[in-house]
């Protein structure tokens, strides 16, 4: 199981590494510093069967959720924040697989909440990568919100709960994560009229949209089979 999770981690890491290298090249930053070397393994260590299973699960999971019909503007991810996020790729990948929450949404929440800083703390007491309030941390079994693995685990559990509660509506999921599911229900299952939440939802979905582009499955080129000679064709 652990090896399988490592393979999944390398799968997301490989695409993310390419993105970071491109960003680093444009900003004249050394690509070696843009991504932890332990996560930059190429597909050579992953068997074709495993790669196919991972890709299939990822595509099936993402196809269940759609961004809202109204226009969502992709948000730029700075090299600093992208590099921070990449450090936690295996943890994010593992939690995504366990709870069926889109990787792109998890990354979007982390980027908006903390910018990938595991020691972040808000003025109201939210802590860690996914900015868990103490009550939310207790609710989802998190003992140390500053521990990246525990924090992501708790945050992804909450996202899973919200996805079920709001039937996969990503706008309401993001609103519930920020304002609480009770407030979303209070206002008729709509984004509450709080300024912070009104700004939060498009920001999270904007980062999610960017991550969807970064992690879009690579389309493999189809190689045409050579035509059989006439004497080898079936009648």
Domain assignment present for 33:
yes
Summarize pLDDT for 4-48 with one digit per residue, the tens. 445 555 567 677 777 777 766 665 444 333 333 322 332 233 334
The predicted model scores a pTM of: 0.72
Helices assigned H by DSSP within 40-113: 48-63, 79-86, 89-99, 103-113
Domain assignment present for 45:
yes
Summarize pLDDT for 113-163 with one digit per residue, the tens. 999 999 999 999 999 999 999 999 999 999 999 999 999 999 999 999 999
Q: Which residues are catalytic?
A: 113
Domain that holds residue 99: 2-217
Domain count, the chain: 1
Domain assignment present for 234:
no
Q: Could you tell me if 85 and 36 are in contact, meaning their C-beta atoms sit under 8 angstroms apart?
A: no
For residues 51-68, average pLDDT: 53
CATH number at residue 148: 1.10.530.10
């Amino acid at each position: 199981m652990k090896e399988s999770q490592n393979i999944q981690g390398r799968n997301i890491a490989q695409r993310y590494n390419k993105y970071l290298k491109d960003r680093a090249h444009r900003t004249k930053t050394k690509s070696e510093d843009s991504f932890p070397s332990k996560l930059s393994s190429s597909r050579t260590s992953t068997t074709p069967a495993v790669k196919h299973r991972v890709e299939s699960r990822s595509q099936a999971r993402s196809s269940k959720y759609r961004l809202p019909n109204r226009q969502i503007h992709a948000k730029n991810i700075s090299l600093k924040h992208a590099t921070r996020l990449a450090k936690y790729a295996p943890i994010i990948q593992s939690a995504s697989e366990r709870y069926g929450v889109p990787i792109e949404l998890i990354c979007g929440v982390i980027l908006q909440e903390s910018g990938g800083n595991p020691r972040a703390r808000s003025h109201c007491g939210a802590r860690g990568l996914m900015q868990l309030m103490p009550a939310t941390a207790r609710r989802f079994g998190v003992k140390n919100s500053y521990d990246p693995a525990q924090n992501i685990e708790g945050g992804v559990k909450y996202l899973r709960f919200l996805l079920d509660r709001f039937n996969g509506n990503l706008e309401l999921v993001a609103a519930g994560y920020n304002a609480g599911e009770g407030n979303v229900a209070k206002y008729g299952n709509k984004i509450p009229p709080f300024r912070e939440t009104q700004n939060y939802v498009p920001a999270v979905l904007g980062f999610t949209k960017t991550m969807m582009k970064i992690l879009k499955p690579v389309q493999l080129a189809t190689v045409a089979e050579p035509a059989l000679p006439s004497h080898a064709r079936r009648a």
